[in-house]
Structure 1
Amino acid sequence: MAGSPRLSLPVVSAFSATAAPIAAIALVMGVYLPRFFTSHIGLTLGAVGAAFGIVRLIDMAVDPLLGLAMDRTKIGFGRYRPWLVLGAPIVMAATYMLFLASPGISLGYLITWLLILYVGVSILTLAQAAWGASIATGYHDRSRVYGVIQAVGVLGSVMILLLPLLLAGKPAGAHGGVGAMGWFLIITTPLTVLLCVLVTPERIAPPSDSEERVRLADYWALITRPEMLRLVFADFVIALGPGTTAALYLFFFHDARHYTGPQTSILLLFYIAAGLVGSMFWGWLAQKTGKHRALMVSAVAYAVAQSMLMIIPPATMSLAIPGMFGVGFVASGFVPIVRAMVADVADEVRLETGKERAGLLYALVTTTQKIGAAITVTVSYTVLQLVGYNPKEGAVNTPDAIHGLELCYVFAPILLVFLGGAAFIGWKLDANRHGEVRRQLDIRDALAAEAAQLTTASGISLGGEPPAANQR
């Protein structure tokens, strides 16, 4: 399509760089930090679960406000670029305060800095996602770009997972190497943001006559769009699935399946590394079959792969490694496909309303992810506490407590992800429909750009100053 040029791989790679620390933070917060605050800092399961739940409930109201602010940002530096720069120091400060915390901190301390970290991560995540929708406009190119973002995120996760293995037995490796992980994030976050903002262009769609301040009715109209209702529901239940496994991962493999600490890190490394191959595969499949069909296939495959974990005998690395690789492979398709589909909906919204709402639309799905994450930590930790599970190092748990842990880890995610895939049965916004949307948008944008050039020429002839270019 003439109006949808394919982005070069160097530009896509530079743009995706920020995904490395974002994904690494999400991994550590979901897997290592909850255990770090219970086993090392000394807070109870209930307190840590409550802290994550409270922060998520507060933070979920932040994303829509951030999305609106981003969509309405129009400065010389760009629309989404300045927000990416803003998010970096916030993430760095909160990372230092949490990852290098000492025993004796209060629950209020944990809640405060968790909230600051979540806000910083939200800024980075929303800015990158919405920016990606504006630079990758083709239906299939979006599958490719968000697939690369996912792959770069996998690389960041793999690098941070290697730290506990490299530091095993060393002072810096105490408590799972959480402190070393913190320094890794503090260093990589500003470097990747700098690479992204210096290399990636930012295209801002020409303003339309209908561009105005968002009203509550506009917000409600976005939420209740049939496509967004499906995406929000699917993203919510899919986030609940892997989110539950992340919160319980170390408990499950150490106490229920009898793997050592280093072995659990190795298994998690294979799970994450599988996403490097899987994200490319699901991006390819989405281009061949359509995004919604690829997502349904990945949901069914996840149910099969997750079920296999209970068949593998305990403490059997030779079988657990391919098992975890398989689960990671199929799970890697969820996030990039959903984000690419949101970008398609954003195009349809802009065609119908003339308003840029990519930031707000992405805020809707990231909010559901946060709600899901809050529910997984809070509910799963509460259930474990009810069945008598003891998370302390060296504790001996009853068979009933271990059985409850296994049910939470293996079977609950299967049902949730399967429901997410089923939500896309009968999806209408496919490649053909989106191609027509983009054709009409390109025509309208070209006419708007031509009108702007005529206005500029008239202003220059009268001695005025030309406006800033739309691409920076």
Structure 2
Amino acid sequence: MSDQKAAPPGHLSLPGVLAFASVSIPIAALQLAISVHLPRYFASSIGLELAVVGAAFGLVRLIDIPIDAGIGVAMDRTRTAFGRYRVWMLLGAPVLMAGFYMLLAAPEGVGLGYLVGWLLVMYLGYSGVYLGHLAWGARLAPTYQQRSRIFGAITGLGVIGAMAVLLIPVVMGQQGYDEAQGVRAMIWFIIGATPVTVLIVLTSTRETIAKDHSASFRARDYLTLIARGNVLRLLAADFFVTLGPGWMAALYLFYFRDSRGFSIAEANVLLMIYIAAGFAGAPFTAWLANRISKHRALMFNTTLYSIGLMILPFLPAGNFMVFAPLMFVVGAMAAGFTVMIRALAGDIADELRLDSGREWMGLVYAVTNATTKLAQAGAVLFTFNFALTAVGYQAKMGAVNTPEAIRGLELAYIVGPIVFVMIAGGCFLGYRLSPERHAEIRHKLAERDAIAEGSVLEALAGDPEFPAVRSPS
């Protein structure tokens, strides 16, 4: 049952933060599985053409974008005794699990319709859990510093889920299981971890519902949201900062096997190092943000990430000990992207609430999730349907690629992400929502909420049905 009184800002305990962040374990596992393993699984093990896989993943994410916006609006308008955002997490979990199970059960040679249908179901459940968690997290930690802290914890704890997804096929491979069986085991891990962690969050965390001081949403309000400068910065940065790593993820196993000379098992271990670096990168970025500001921390991370990619092609092929440190640095910077985008989104939603008098948190996270999905769709669609096809690369098991095709794969893997990630950092040049400005916004919101609360008490004091209520004056 929801408690309408949350802990004061700055008094969120570490166990409370970790309990709340726990649902990021299956969410991060799902995100990595979808980005790296599932497209390859359907192309290599289920037998679908690359173009079909790219079209399915791209189409579903495009369909899901307006649905996410609707879910975000519905979240912000939800007011129940159970809470505003927690009810969406509770409803989303079983839908996510059902969709993933049906993808697990996909027979060999399954058609495009089956893949699109159950991917869409899975994404609907994912949106309920993911958007509810992000919006609730931003409301749970309203101050500039606490918001960096909680989203740092969410990203850091998500590393556990991502690491599990990477370790499962490695361990199963050592036991004699094939790659397809390893992917199926990943899916079972996500299906099992989702209800457990959602229940941990719901039973351990209190939720507060922010007060609305304005009328309900109108259609033109959505256009107003998209037209705001800070929202445009956020959406553009989120798109490009997702497209860069997503582009790399789609090509990762192909590149590290065929260009860098690593086995699939070795490539997965390097990817584990990249992901594990989030344990350092997420808290480091949160620490940095509270010293130089969030947008500058994001710009620092995007720059160092791009420099790391520029170095990657010059390392000796197949040399694990040389690749591992660079993968750690690049992975640490990538973890910071997520921390800062999520934290910045909460700050911008506060600015919107001050200006309009209504809650925007769910919708802001919905539209950023929409740009994330659009970028993820673009990553799979363009790499599978255009980049690899254009250079003549063959993805099927046992295929032999020409040196020209390998060279094209190398260029696609490196050049695109560098450009995209640097554009993302550049989106925040001239950004003015500083820590001082956000503190001023939070102060004004608290004053307005207090005035509204006092008005309600005064009205009740004059009502004979509430004799125990007295005016605060």
CA distance in 2, matches of 1:251, 1:102: 24
CA distance in 2, matches of 1:172, 1:79: 44
**CA offsets 1:383-408 (integer angstroms, 9 cap, x no match):** 20222111112211011111111111
Give the equivalent residue in structure 1 for 2:144.
139
Give the equivalent residue in structure 2 for 1:268.
271
Give the equivalent residue in structure 1 for 2:347.
344
Structure 1 residue 442: Cα displacement: 0.8
Give the equivalent residue in structure 2 for 1:445.
449
Is this contact kept in 2: 1:146–1:339, CA < 8 A?
yes
**CA offsets 1:7-44 (integer angstroms, 9 cap, x no match):** 11111111111111011000000000011001100001
Is this contact kept in 2: 1:99–1:181, CA < 8 A?
no
Is this contact kept in 2: 1:100–1:178, CA < 8 A?
no
1:78-89 equivalences under 5 Å are 78-89=83-94
1:246-395 equivalences under 5 Å are 246-382=249-385, 383-395=387-399
SS in 2 for 1:313: coil
- Tell me the TM-score normalised to structure 2 length: 0.95
Structure 1 residue 293: Cα displacement: 0.6
Letter in 1 for 2:113: G
Give the equivalent residue in structure 2 for 1:127.
132
Give the equivalent residue in structure 2 for 1:206.
211
Between stretches 364-373 and 4-13, larger displacement belongs to 4-13
**CA offsets 1:413-446 (integer angstroms, 9 cap, x no match):** 0111001101111110010100100111111112
Between stretches 191-200 and 393-402, larger displacement belongs to 393-402
Is this contact kept in 2: 1:292–1:424, CA < 8 A?
yes
Is this contact kept in 1: 2:211–2:359, CA < 8 A?
no
SS in 2 for 1:121: helix
Give the equivalent residue in structure 1 for 2:437.
433
**CA offsets 1:150-171 (integer angstroms, 9 cap, x no match):** 0011111112211111111436
Residue from 91, 94, 99 that aligns with 2:96: 91
Residue identity over aligned pairs, in percent, reads 45
Structure 1 residue 458: Cα displacement: 5.3
Query: Structure 1 residue 242 and structure 2 residue 245: aligned?
Result: yes
Give the equivalent residue in structure 1 for 2:24.
19
SS in 2 for 1:248: helix
Is this contact kept in 2: 1:172–1:179, CA < 8 A?
no
Is this contact kept in 2: 1:100–1:182, CA < 8 A?
no
CA distance in 2, matches of 1:71, 1:239: 25
Between stretches 66-75 and 319-328, larger displacement belongs to 319-328
Per the alignment, do residues 37 and 462 of structure 1 end up closer, same or farther by CA in structure 2, a change over 3 Å counting? same
Per the alignment, do residues 465 and 242 of structure 1 end up closer, same or farther by CA in structure 2, a change over 3 Å counting? farther
**CA offsets 1:213-243 (integer angstroms, 9 cap, x no match):** x112110111111101111111111111001
Per the alignment, do residues 148 and 356 of structure 1 end up closer, same or farther by CA in structure 2, a change over 3 Å counting? same
Between stretches 385-394 and 65-74, larger displacement belongs to 385-394
CA distance in 2, matches of 1:453, 1:163: 57
Letter in 1 for 2:408: G
Structure 1 residue 173: Cα displacement: 4.7
CA distance in 1, matches of 2:212, 2:462: 19
1:49-128 equivalences under 5 Å are 49-128=54-133
Gaps of 5+ in 2: 1-6
SS in 2 for 1:60: helix
Letter in 1 for 2:111: S
Give the equivalent residue in structure 1 for 2:4.
none
Give the equivalent residue in structure 1 for 2:3.
none
CA distance in 2, matches of 1:219, 1:271: 38
Residue from 196, 216, 219 that aligns with 2:219: 216
SS in 1 for 2:396: coil
SS in 2 for 1:203: coil
Give the equivalent residue in structure 1 for 2:158.
153
Query: Structure 1 residue 191 and structure 2 residue 193: aligned?
Result: no
SS in 2 for 1:429: coil
Letter in 1 for 2:282: S
Structure 1 residue 5: Cα displacement: 3.5
CA distance in 1, matches of 2:460, 2:253: 61
Structure 1 residue 99: Cα displacement: 2.9
Per the alignment, do residues 45 and 443 of structure 1 end up closer, same or farther by CA in structure 2, a change over 3 Å counting? same
Structure 1 residue 211: Cα displacement: 3.1
Query: RMSD of the alignment, in Å?
Result: 1.7
Query: Structure 1 residue 407 and structure 2 residue 411: aligned?
Result: yes
- Tell me the TM-score normalised to structure 1 length: 0.95
Letter in 1 for 2:268: S
**CA offsets 1:229-271 (integer angstroms, 9 cap, x no match):** 1111111111110010111111111111121111011011001
Give the equivalent residue in structure 2 for 1:470.
none
CA distance in 2, matches of 1:331, 1:118: 23
Gaps of 5+ in 1: 467-472
Structure 1 residue 207: Cα displacement: 3.0
SS in 2 for 1:103: coil
CA distance in 1, matches of 2:112, 2:468: 55
Per the alignment, do residues 464 and 408 of structure 1 end up closer, same or farther by CA in structure 2, a change over 3 Å counting? farther
CA distance in 1, matches of 2:433, 2:282: 22
Structure 1 residue 316: Cα displacement: 0.9
CA distance in 1, matches of 2:177, 2:90: 30
Is this contact kept in 2: 1:206–1:449, CA < 8 A?
no
Per the alignment, do residues 173 and 305 of structure 1 end up closer, same or farther by CA in structure 2, a change over 3 Å counting? same
Structure 1 residue 311: Cα displacement: 1.1
Give the equivalent residue in structure 2 for 1:166.
171
